[in-house]
Structure 1
Amino acid sequence: MTSEAMASPVRLRQHGGVLVVSIDNPPVNALGAAVRQGLLAAIEQADAQADVRAVLIVGEGKAFIAGADIREFGQAPVPPSLPDVCQRIESCAKPVVAAIHGAALGGGLEVALAAHYRLALPAAQLGLPEVNLGLLPGAGGTQRAPRLMGALAAAELMLSGKPLSAPAALAAGLVDRCVDGTDATSAGLAYAEELLAQGAARRPTRALPIADQSVALPQLDALSADTAKKSRGLFSPLKIVECVRAAVERPFAEGMAIERALFVECLASPQRAGLVHAFFAERETAKIPEAQASTPRAVAQVGVVGGGTMGAGITVAALDAGLSVTMVERDAASIARGQAHVEKVYDGLIAKGRMTPEAKAATMARYTPSTVYADLGTVDLVIEAVFEDLDVKKAVFQELDRVCKPGAVLATNTSYLDIDAIAAATARPQDVIGLHFFSPANIMKLLEIVVPAR
């Protein structure tokens, strides 16, 4: 028999002996104050009800929990804190299961780590991306993740800021089971009932040993030295390694205290303020009136004219975005150099262990070198990256105007030449724009978009 109770934005319903805790805070179930309060109340209720034998935490809509509520950034904290909520979940007297679909990021993954068992659907994405905002996981992520996946793997996950797929999370030990389907509630209920039938006990993550503890410290020493080189003065990456070291060397409670102290340090850092500002600024670009009023053109194939440092960087950026790229140069020797520039980037990633030879081959399969402008006839977007000479660029755009299909976007990477003069060299100035990349184009995320008068 199923009974239901409403507690917006956290909904409770009882299914047999399982209390289903559904987070319904569109669009991504962010961990705002009301959600935190609802989660805490749900666990209190589960402990108080004798007929509740287990708890299932799920997210409604398209995500489990996608992280903190950005509307609370810069606001005075409202209790309960997320660390307190996670502590209460972990201390629940009944087994707690987290059933994950969609995004479980940042604080969302920390909620799942505080549960006693974790199940993920195939499309789930699990990560701790706080480093991208100049922060570190501040609700036990730096202490619980190492107990599930090992210290080195946990530190690398947090330093990357990138999510794991459900199969990868299963292989790493972050989740206990990955099941087919799209209904996290049904899958989670089946798992919770299976655990109850087996007599499975609570399994607090804080009580688990760190699997690689015997080798973790020298590995973390090496990682810290490597991070110091790669992070180029960034504040939070080394603090993340310091927190993971505390997970290895200290009891859980002491590690949590260190995590909290270092989180507060990161929170007060000017770097954190700058990265959060950049985060909001990037979101604002989607609200530019011109962008909202326009109909985007589909882009699947890209052409790049010029195979120098900038042209190669633009090519890599497009390839990394999953696009097909045709690079055009003036002769065989020049296009060979252009391809060598592109391959050098991927060979460097292979040398660093960040790419496999197979992945490089699959990426380069979408790359076509050419010395003939006519090979750009089917591209949706072509980006010119030749020498900064107005007459040279005009000549290039005359050729592009001749060979490119109607509706193709013709872009120049010029940093200072008159884009209206370049556009005037074509019979379709309305299709000409400036896309000013910053070097190295495959690394720098800033792109200046220049719109000509016509």
Structure 2
Amino acid sequence: MSSPVQLSHEGAVAVIRVNNPPVNALGQAVRAGLLEAFAAAEADAEVKAVVLLCAGTTFIAGADIREFGKPPQAPLLADVTQAIENFSKPSLAVLHGSALGGGLEVALACHYRIARRDARLGLPEVKLGLLPGAGGTQRLPRVAGVAVALEMIVGGEPVTAAEAERTGILDQLFDGDLLAAGLAFAEQLQAQGAGPRRSGEATVCLTGGADNAALLEAKRREVQRSLPGLFSPLRCIAAIEAATVLPLVEGLKRERKLFQECLQSPQRLALVHKFFAERQAGKIKGLDTAVETRPISSVAVIGGGTMGVGIALSLAAAGLAVKLLELDADRLATALQRVASTLDKSVQRGSLSAQAMQQRLALIEGVTDYAALAKVDLAIEAVFEDIAAKQAVFEALDRVCKPGAILSSNTSSLDLNRIAAFTRRPQDVLGLHFFSPANVMRLLEVVRGAQSNAAVLASAMQLGKRLKKVAVVVGVCDGFVGNRMALQYIREAELLVEEGASVQQVDAALGEFGMAMGPFAMLDMSGLDIWQSMRQRQRASLSAGQLLPTLLDRLCAAGRFGQKSGAGFYLYPDGSRTPQPNLQLAELFDELADGVHEDIDPHSLLQRPLYALINEGARILEEGIAQRASDIDVIFLTGYGFPAHLGGPMFYADQLGLDKVLQGIREYQRRFGANWQPAPLLERLVAEGKTFTEWGQQG
């Protein structure tokens, strides 16, 4: 088999080309090929410079995921990057597409770097519970400074080529052909008599006036506040700190030691699980991968409330033309003002340019007549969660939309099959359940109806990618996957309060566990009335002996719907979004408990909501509402703030031990009755000695 790394010559310039499709990943053969090619160029007296570039659509986009979890094979990437840096002739990396992880570390080991303007550069290892282990934490701060290194390595997000040039990572941007640009830059180097410029020897960015110690300490405090419990971000900071106080050789040793610590952390397993789970979520069981998708270039959004506006903004950000429909001019004006206001806030924060704001505004057209939707490729209904309101919308869409248009509902819980039946084309109907705020949240539940066409489903998943969402296919039931499970989690949180715990106690316990916010703060943010409507449907189908709390009902009856009304489980004075204790709840809770409160076991504050979540997840798996356990994990990681370093509720249950989870559920069943009937799948997996992950890989 031919090597994925080829060496050729253009006069006195050696051209090393990596060709390892689809993303030129740094597998063992590529690492070995790079060493061999640079060694051959070193030994050739005719070679005066080296140009390194990649075939296909991207530069080296990172490690080979097929090697994840396997023993490392020589040569290690750290040895490759050190050999490239030690090369005695000037070397140039020519970047395009994505230069990520080890790919950027290879580029930093080269003496010069240029990039096509479309390139993105990043070190995302922290998202897998790791840190850059091939010199990235030592070379990047020397090239671009500590502030840039902290942002890129601890944050893990890529930067544009323009930003990389501004910060000194790149020497030049170009348009057009990679080889031509590389040879032209190499010719300039030779004309100038330029020799190697080793990034590991640079010190200017480490001693150039920035207070590195203060930057490092500020980043530590930020991580401890915003990413509590995460292992690798603090090790990333420690590695960058080593670059500021140690010579390169010692700094690389320190980086390697910290890398090994991350590698051995149990958090890495969870974060790798998250990585693969997101990739797996895009694969739909039983769907022919060759199915032809329907083109989507124009979209209608029906409803200009908070959700509708968020969806419109998400679509416009992806370059799609949007018709935002409200049924009267006043409500439409309010919706369009909300669009403009949201974009303007992004401009004020510096996350969006004024030009981009104007481009997105131009893509969103307000309309008040369904006739204006006649030619759209996709319609997304985002009106109030009421079946009669949905019926009116879908009957109108069925009348006016062209044949082949996809009709979708943003319903968070209603029966999608019933909604589809309001049309004469149920095969073209599916659910697109965005999460609020839709222009920010990454999760998209794609609800497959009983008659949803395969092409419609594939088109929806393709749209999710275009919107940069994590799209997960789910089946039809009340609440689908996320909200159905969340209701059980909320049930136990409320019952704990009815038994004598405080709202703050429950939220604090789950916050310390790592949830992005506690259940009561989450309820207030999303709106208690939305959850109450789901609870009422749930109450209508209770089995004998099952009990549901009444806190939601009582607060809604008093007009306390959460943040939007200024009061819910917490108070939000003067439009604030920061929860303040609601002391008025004490009387209500005393009444529910008849003034007698039990002593709540602190362990129950955490375990009861989480075990209820896991038990319902097991039911959902067995019913086929979710395709696999990892899909449930993705939904809770991206939509409900489950701590990433624990991998999602089903992975977390596997790590705890399903026998332990079942034992806890059976104890709660003994104490609390029918609410805690163990899921049959959970009992079966324990009996067979299997995990949710193993079961989810079947089929």
- TM-score, normalised to structure 1, is 0.89
Aligned match of 2:326: 329
1:254 to 234, 250, 255: 250
Aligned match of 2:375: 378
Deviation by residue 1:102-132 (Cα, 9 ceiling, x = unmatched): 3222111110110111222333332223334
Aligned match of 1:16: 11
Q: Does 1:172 align with 2:158?
A: no
Q: For the Cα contact (< 8 Å) 2:124–2:157, is it kept in 1?
A: yes
For the residue of structure 2 that corresponds to 1:94, the secondary structure is coil
1:186 to 167, 177, 180: 180
Q: Structure 1's 53 and 157: CA in aligned 2 closer, same or farther, altered over 3 A?
A: same
The alpha carbon displacement at 1:53 in A equals 2.8
Aligned match of 1:303: 300
Matches within 5 A, 1:182-331: 182=177, 184-211=178-205, 213=207, 214-217=209-212, 218-231=214-227, 234-288=230-284, 289-290=286-287, 292-331=289-328
2:120 to 116, 125, 139: 125
For the residue of structure 1 that corresponds to 2:106, the secondary structure is helix
2:151 to 147, 156, 180: 156
Distance in 2 of aligned mates of 1:364 and 1:267:
46
Q: Structure 1's 317 and 43: CA in aligned 2 closer, same or farther, altered over 3 A?
A: same
When structure 1 is superposed on structure 2, of 333-342 and 10-19 the one drifting more is 333-342
Q: Structure 1's 363 and 263: CA in aligned 2 closer, same or farther, altered over 3 A?
A: farther
When structure 1 is superposed on structure 2, of 416-425 and 210-219 the one drifting more is 210-219
RMSD over aligned CA atoms reads 2.6
Q: For the Cα contact (< 8 Å) 1:286–1:292, is it kept in 2?
A: no
Q: Structure 1's 181 and 416: CA in aligned 2 closer, same or farther, altered over 3 A?
A: closer
Structure 1: unaligned runs, 5 residues or longer: 1-5
Q: For the Cα contact (< 8 Å) 2:301–2:325, is it kept in 1?
A: yes
When structure 1 is superposed on structure 2, of 8-17 and 377-386 the one drifting more is 8-17
Distance in 2 of aligned mates of 1:367 and 1:237:
39
The alpha carbon displacement at 1:409 in A equals 0.9
What letter matches 1:306 in structure 2? G
Q: Tell which structure's C-alpha radius of gyration is larger.
A: 2
Aligned match of 1:110: 105
For the residue of structure 2 that corresponds to 1:449, the secondary structure is strand
Distance in 1 of aligned mates of 2:227 and 2:346:
16
The alpha carbon displacement at 1:326 in A equals 2.2
For the residue of structure 2 that corresponds to 1:22, the secondary structure is strand
More strand by share: 1
The alpha carbon displacement at 1:79 in A equals 1.1
Q: For the Cα contact (< 8 Å) 1:384–1:411, is it kept in 2?
A: yes
Distance in 1 of aligned mates of 2:399 and 2:138:
61
The alpha carbon displacement at 1:8 in A equals 0.8
Structure 2: unaligned runs, 5 residues or longer: 452-699
More helix by share: 2
Q: Structure 1's 347 and 232: CA in aligned 2 closer, same or farther, altered over 3 A?
A: farther
Q: Structure 1's 256 and 358: CA in aligned 2 closer, same or farther, altered over 3 A?
A: same
Q: Structure 1's 88 and 275: CA in aligned 2 closer, same or farther, altered over 3 A?
A: same
Distance in 1 of aligned mates of 2:218 and 2:337:
32
- How many matched pairs? 448
Q: For the Cα contact (< 8 Å) 1:152–1:216, is it kept in 2?
A: no
Matches within 5 A, 1:339-358: 339-358=336-355
When structure 1 is superposed on structure 2, of 331-340 and 361-370 the one drifting more is 331-340
The alpha carbon displacement at 1:212 in A equals 6.3
The alpha carbon displacement at 1:295 in A equals 1.6
Q: Structure 1's 97 and 319: CA in aligned 2 closer, same or farther, altered over 3 A?
A: same
For the residue of structure 1 that corresponds to 2:287, the secondary structure is helix
What letter matches 1:453 in structure 2? A
Q: Does 1:431 align with 2:425?
A: no
Aligned match of 1:440: 437
The alpha carbon displacement at 1:270 in A equals 4.2
Aligned match of 2:417: 420
Aligned match of 2:693: none
Aligned match of 1:3: none
Matches within 5 A, 1:402-421: 402-421=399-418
The alpha carbon displacement at 1:32 in A equals 0.4
The alpha carbon displacement at 1:384 in A equals 1.2
- TM-score, normalised to structure 2, is 0.60
For the residue of structure 2 that corresponds to 1:307, the secondary structure is coil
Deviation by residue 1:421-449 (Cα, 9 ceiling, x = unmatched): 11111122121111122333233322222
What letter matches 2:92 in structure 1? V
For the residue of structure 2 that corresponds to 1:56, the secondary structure is strand
Deviation by residue 1:203-260 (Cα, 9 ceiling, x = unmatched): 1101112436422423444444445444465444444333333323333233323332
For the residue of structure 2 that corresponds to 1:118, the secondary structure is strand
Q: Structure 1's 340 and 174: CA in aligned 2 closer, same or farther, altered over 3 A?
A: same
When structure 1 is superposed on structure 2, of 384-393 and 245-254 the one drifting more is 245-254
Matches within 5 A, 1:17-56: 17-56=12-51
The alpha carbon displacement at 1:321 in A equals 1.8
Aligned match of 1:88: 83
Q: For the Cα contact (< 8 Å) 2:51–2:93, is it kept in 1?
A: yes
Distance in 1 of aligned mates of 2:296 and 2:227:
33
Distance in 2 of aligned mates of 1:275 and 1:341:
36
Distance in 2 of aligned mates of 1:410 and 1:176:
49
